[in-house]
Structure 1
Amino acid sequence: MSSTNPRRPGRRTGDSTTRDDILRAAQSLFGSNGFKNTSMRAVAAEAGVDVALVPYYFGSKRGLFVAALEVPVDPVAQVVRATQGPRERLGERMAAEFTAVWEHPDTSSAMRGLLRSVITDESESSAYAEFMSTEMVPLVAELTGVSLETARVAVSMLFGMATMRYLIGVPLFVELSRDEVIALWGPHLQRVIDAD
């Protein structure tokens, strides 16, 4: 007679589908509740997993959100890289970091898809807007040493350019090379930073 070891009821531990289950739950909850009102505990409950597995796979709520939206880069790492160097060239480095992900063949189509999605999908738009307001713009301010108002202007300049160049494809923006974009936006960003 063979004995079986029935699975105990309760939250399951990590298995081959756990990460995907967490991502699906996060996408659903971020879409319906927004960034601020979605907790890692709620995501774990929705996915039917132990709450410790959420930070295990994604590190933080910010990391979970970035993964759920399928952002192809770590935006925090980008901001950190931009801050490494003299302040008087911060605008140039911000433009360079920002355009790199939009123009690299491994990430450009995903970034275009993300921007299109957050503009056209109401639930994603709401969650992304909240994420930018509560997480990313304050983080840009903190890491670059500028005020929240200055960070807000700088981020809007970069995303405005991205919308015109990479999403809509406005010829006046598209006809510029990446080096020309950096040379044009960098000094304008720097003036905003220097006026802080």
Structure 2
Amino acid sequence: MSDDSAPTGTKADLIAAGLHLFGRDGFAATSTRALAGRAGTNVASIAYHFGGKDGLRLACGAEVQRRVGKVAGLPGPDAVDPGMPPEQARQRLEAMLRAMVQFLTQVPEAADIVGFIMREFAEDGPVLDQIYGHFFLPKHRELCQLVAIATGRDADSQDTRLLVFSMLGQAVYFRIGQSLICRRMGWQSYGPDEARAIADRLVANLHAVLEAAP
């Protein structure tokens, strides 16, 4: 998806409401009245723009893909040149990781996006299939290819796939564990300095893992 597909107006307000309420309360427990109230519109607008609550749920999933795609890059068949130098592959992995940390710690909407994704994972609903098939699977394969180029590993090996999961999971943890982390670190919140420190630590972890590869 491109920026041209970004929702606007009432559609954007309803999607923002859906990301927050579906993530916090779950799909079944969220009423159309609550969605409309948070969006500052009427209940009929949900059916008008999305065909109903189910359609809004899928639109929230599409918005997650758009927002995360802007940060991590949209997957595509030619996203990775097999002939690129290993150092270039390492640089791309580092840049993606730094961009993820910046988004997860500095963008207010990231909390609702992560909350929505976590809830959908737990409920194993239709949005999980949507995000997995259209975005996560091809993006994960792309990152595995970059790791393979950077290290000489097999891109499809179990260890490479787990390495990519661990890289992504570390970044997400700093979003979902913010309160605990800030308390332990003596931080009031995640400001630019804290975000930079987190990114530097995760990038150091990344390079250590890549350099230790057989």
Greater C-alpha radius of gyration: 1
| Normalised TM-score (structure 2) | 0.47
